Structure 1
Amino acid sequence: MKELFNKHSGKFFALFMTLLLSTLGYFLYFAPVQGLENKFIYLMKEHGYIILFFWGMLEGEMGLVMAGLLTHTGDMNLFIAIFVAGLGGFAGDQVYFYIGRFNKAWVHKKLHGQRRKLALAHLLLKRHGWPIIFLQRYLYGLRTVIPISIGLTRYSGKMFAFINLMSAWVWASITIIPTWYFGEEILIVIHWAKEHWYLALPLAAIIGGGISYYFHTVTDKKLKEKHEI
């Protein structure tokens, strides 16, 4: 049974995430309030820590920001929110790590189009060691690839789990605590963005495009350096 699960852990995880997102969509649809934002807030208030855990597995900062705002308004406890979000982030990367560890042939087949990112992840781990595990949550475009690629190597599973857990709690802290502290200012900005969406949307697109361009440029540069070596 264990071998069967290990062999098909990637498929089981994909099925789990499909069921999770379908369930979230169901509850969002039937939430007794109007507007997508209000529906999310309603669910966070009613089932906050459960949703935060699974949102943490997806490593979505938006969920942590919402949790930070709810801690600011007193609807969630700051320390519990950080603890739960960190556990979710930890669990998500552990799953990706063991997908790589026990499904090497499946990973190489399914992530064939991501082979450049896999190569970059291996290069970063070889050059920088454990700090890459700690920092991988902040590497846009490599969050999923790095734990999978490390699972493909002989890197210690226990060491990865320890570094991953510490990293997840730091990630949750530096996202939730500033949101909690500057909650009032953030709510003012959100209110402004709602009223001036015609300015907020282009600004967000420019910032997002700039970040994406920057990290893709860094990726290409690292791969070129590897081939030159």
Structure 2
Amino acid sequence: MEELFIQWLHEYGYVILFIWSTLEGELGLIMAGIMSHTGHMSLPIAIFVAGLGGFVGDQVYFYIGRYNKPLIYNKLKTQRRKFALAHLLLQRYGWPIIFIQRYLYGMRTVIPMSIGITRYSAKTFALINFISAIIWATITILLAYFFGEELLQLVEYGKEHYYIAIPFAIMLGGGIYYYLHRVTQKAGKKYLGETK
């Protein structure tokens, strides 16, 4: 299984990196940095692909907010506090919040959607978002690139002492299950609402 995963990374590494980067992918960027360190990826191309993925992801969230306001207001009721906080941050700090939003845990998808709801210029958002995404990709991948040997040693240690990772794997699995359960519930409610 491990060999198959490594083969996929070698064959489709840039595609996987792009997709991962559109979906809040710091882990994908770290893997790209390690693969650049080992020579399996080109460092400049990895940074560009990851930055482009991060840019595209946030642009999608922005336009979801811009053209789906009823969906945002009605379907994402559980996120209202985060949307209120995003509006407050935008009013207080202006454009820098677009620049740093990808570093704010739990707010990366909310802030672009929240900005999309407002009358904020789409061109200005796109420009700041692109610069921010490239810097985010550069910093994360370069750190993993320069500390590649240490990270590989950590991975090897984890493989030898896998039992240490069991609690983290359970938490990760539980988190994924909870997320998928919520998504399917929302999709079901939306479908039932539309068919009534």
Q: Which residue of 1 aligns with 2:117?
A: 152
CA distance in 1, matches of 2:148, 2:56: 28
Q: Shift in Å at residue 130 of structure 1?
A: 0.8
1:134 matches 2:112: no
Q: Which residue of 2 aligns with 1:162?
A: 127
1:98 to 53, 58, 63: 63
* Unaligned stretches of 5+ residues in structure 2: 172-196
CA distance in 2, matches of 1:127, 1:41: 45
- Cα distance, 1:191–1:84 mapped onto 2, change above 3 Å: same
Percent identical pairs in the alignment equals: 63
CA distance in 2, matches of 1:75, 1:59: 23
Q: Which residue of 1 aligns with 2:7?
A: 42
Q: Shift in Å at residue 60 of structure 1?
A: 1.1
- Cα distance, 1:184–1:47 mapped onto 2, change above 3 Å: same
SS of the equivalent of 1:141 reads coil
- Cα distance, 1:39–1:133 mapped onto 2, change above 3 Å: farther
- Higher RCO (C-alpha 8 Å, min separation 6): 2
TM-score with structure 1 setting the length: 0.71
SS of the equivalent of 1:47 reads helix
Residue type of the alignment partner of 1:192: Y
Q: Shift in Å at residue 200 of structure 1?
A: 4.4
Q: Which residue of 1 aligns with 2:147?
A: 182
Q: When the two structures are aligned, how many residues end up with a matched partner?
A: 171
Q: Shift in Å at residue 110 of structure 1?
A: 1.6
CA distance in 2, matches of 1:122, 1:109: 17
CA RMSD of aligned residues (A): 1.8
Q: Which residue of 1 aligns with 2:192?
A: none
Q: Shift in Å at residue 185 of structure 1?
A: 1.0
After superposition, the C-alpha distances for 1:29-86 in whole angstroms (9 at most, x for unaligned) are xxxxx23xx4432212101112211111112111111111111111110000000100
Q: Which residue of 1 aligns with 2:74?
A: 109
* Stretch of structure 1 that moved more, 104-113 or 157-166: 104-113
After superposition, the C-alpha distances for 1:195-225 in whole angstroms (9 at most, x for unaligned) are 223334558999xxxxxxxxxxxxxxxxxxx
CA distance in 2, matches of 1:202, 1:91: 34
TM-score with structure 2 setting the length: 0.82
Query: How do 1:1-229 residues align onto structure 2 when only pairs under 5 Å count?
Result: 34-35=1-2, 38-201=3-166
CA distance in 2, matches of 1:94, 1:54: 14
